[in-house]
A = this chain, B = another copy of it.
Amino acid sequence: MSTALSSGPLRLGLAGLGTVGIGLVRMLEREAALIAARAGRPVVITAVSARDPKKDRGADLSAFAWETDPVALATRDDVDVFIEVMGGHEGAAKAATEAALRAGKHVVSANKALLAHYGQPLAELAEANGVALRYEAAVAGGIPVIKSLLEGLAGNRIKRVMGVMNGTCNYILTRMQSAGLPYETVFEEARQLGYLEADPNLDVGGIDAGHKLSLLASIAFGTKVSFDNVELEGIGNVSIDDITLADDMGYRIKLLGVAQMSGRGLEQRMTPCLVPADSPLGQLQGGTNMVVLEGDAVGQIVMRGAGAGEGPTASAVMSDVIDIARGFRTPVFGIPATELADAVPARSATPAPYYLRMKLLDKPGALAKVATALGDAGISIDQMRQINQPGEDDGDAIVLIVTHKAAPADVEHALSRFAQTGVLVEKPAAIRIEEL
């Protein structure tokens, strides 16, 4: 076999000694023999970099050479694979990744932001230099979803990729639902539990999950990563009312990423969606991640697992390292980077049923006006319910509508017509129901 032990140890340069970096150190300490057997050669860390060499990180790092500059680490002669678990999509992470690739080092990265922004030039650089750039840990933590899409489903024309890929958002939404608490309260809880990024908008604004979706979309559809074209809507406007009412109708609200290719182009959405409560996505609780891959031949594949944390992320990084040790050289996004197509963005072109919640003035004909506005926009109604909210005696009516499949543009059109009816007490909520 080509992975004979005679090829000597595979030497890692580890940039970043946070949770994930230390997880890797521990994994190699604990399972050096097992990993060597599977990799076909020993895997060793030769050098590390972090800002403060003196900090106690709870692991013995004395055997490794130290660099304070990750660029210096990335280009060391005794490093074959540069492991980037520093984070940040500019500055040092980017410079060191580029330096590594230029120096002919393989790179394993957990940095979804960097890849979402610079995936295309980095892939071209890697392939021009004949080295691997792998990033299993960048998407859905320990779930081997990059591998499954890039390799396991490589015989399929991919129809759609979906995922709940930000554990913090899913924690917040499921906690709101189970405890009946408003967003602001649970957000604050999550902050105190340390679940949120330093910039919480990366989580609750859907940016982190959007980064991940853009990587999956590139592999799935053979297009250049185009994070800028991801339609992003975070969970900050998801109300406890909608969660409760959706639940009554058999749905759950998830921050769901969807990428699909239609005749109009590539749709990438990371938005709150309704999904059936009894579906695998609907039943996903807490911080767990789930990815759904749909191929023309294979049908629907659902994968579930931990989306973050020391162990799951280290597991993903190590699988990339072992693949490199075994000699795998898959193009970064499945086909050579120079052959990836430009993504033609199609903003939410695919029709879907919609959930609409609106508060109407207690006026004769109010409901008829709303129904007419929907009809004028070409949207037909599947279900309508009027809810009398206990304790609210203002005479206003809460009306819930589930539409038949409607084009997103038609829904926007209907919402603008609603505003002209003069019967709405407040801006209506409109949430896509993703069909599984």
Task: Count residues of A near B (Cβ-Cβ below 8 Å).
Answer: 65
What is the 8 Å Cβ interface bit string for chain A, positions 271-297, against chain B (1 contact, 0 not)?
A: 000000010100100000000000111
Residues from chain B with a CB closer than 8 A to the CB of A314 are 155, 297
Contacts of A40 in B (CB 8 A): 331, 336
User: Does A384 reach chain B (CB closer than 8 Å)?
Assistant: no
- Interface hub of A144, A300, A309, A326 (most chain B Cβ within 10 A): A144
A425 at the interface (CB under 8 A from B): no
Partner of A298, one of B39, B127, B306, B327: B306
Q: Chain B nearest CB: distance from A106 CB in Å?
A: 13
Q: Is the CB of B155 within 8 A of A315?
A: yes
Q: Which residues of B contact A2 (CB under 8 A)?
A: 329
Q: Is A31 close to B, CB under 8 A?
A: yes
**Cβ contacts under 8 Å, A330 to chain B:** 326
CB closest chain-B residue, reference A222: B37
Q: Write the nearest CB–CB distance from A42 to chain B, whole angstroms.
A: 14
Additional 4 contacts, C-beta under 8 A, given A37-B335, A302-B302: A38-B334, A142-B295, A148-B152, A152-B319
Q: Which 7 A-B pairs have the closest CB atoms?
A: A155-B318, A144-B152, A142-B298, A297-B311, A298-B315, A297-B315, A302-B304
Q: List 23 A-B contacts (CB under 8 A).
A: A1-B127, A1-B130, A1-B331, A23-B297, A31-B155, A35-B155, A37-B339, A38-B334, A40-B331, A144-B152, A144-B153, A153-B319, A154-B318, A155-B321, A297-B312, A297-B314, A297-B315, A298-B305, A299-B311, A300-B306, A301-B305, A326-B328, A327-B328
